[in-house]
Amino acid sequence: QVQLVESGGGLVQAGVSLRLSCRASGRAFSSYAVGWFRRAPGKEREFVAHIMSSGYGPSYADSVKGRFTISRDNAKNTVYLQMNSLKPEDTAVYYCAASTHSGQLYYAHEYHLWGQGTQVTVSS
């Protein structure tokens, strides 16, 4: 069974960068698509980014497009979310999730493995 652990969150000022990591334990991580989601205070969980098992076809929410980059290193069992030009509205708990489904996966119910989340707080 694959388990996911996020890291890299923190308290930063607007405009700076952070890189989140999602490290997986267990075998066959390279066969999983991975997504990043976030939940801001008082809001629903929302899709942030997705990457296929092969590393191709990354996709992003409009709110982060051009600022965030998702990538993966299957040799290290890790998926990254590089977040640049952070804004206060990016403040949220960020979760990574994994799925064996193919194609573009934008919805939480398409993922069946979740990490515990990492807090990102961006001050103005």
The pLDDT tens digits for 27-77 are 788 899 999 999 999 999 999 999 999 888 899 999 999 999 999 999 999
- Return the sign of the alpha-carbon dihedral for residues 121, 71, 3, 103: positive
pLDDT of residue 119: 98
CA distances to 13, 18, 44 from 92, rounded to whole Å, are 14, 13, 11
- pLDDT computed for residue 109 by the predictor: 95
The tokens for 116 are: 């515990």
pLDDT tens for each residue of 90-116: 999 999 999 999 889 999 999 999 999
Average confidence (pLDDT) over 71-86: 96
Token pair of 14 as six digits = 């607007």
Measured between alpha carbons, how far is 32 from 14 in angstroms, rounded to an integer?
33
Tokens of 40: 């801001």
Instruction: Count the Cβ atoms, other than its own, within 10 Å of residue 96.
Output: 30
Q: How far apart are CA 108 and CA 110, in angstroms?
A: 5
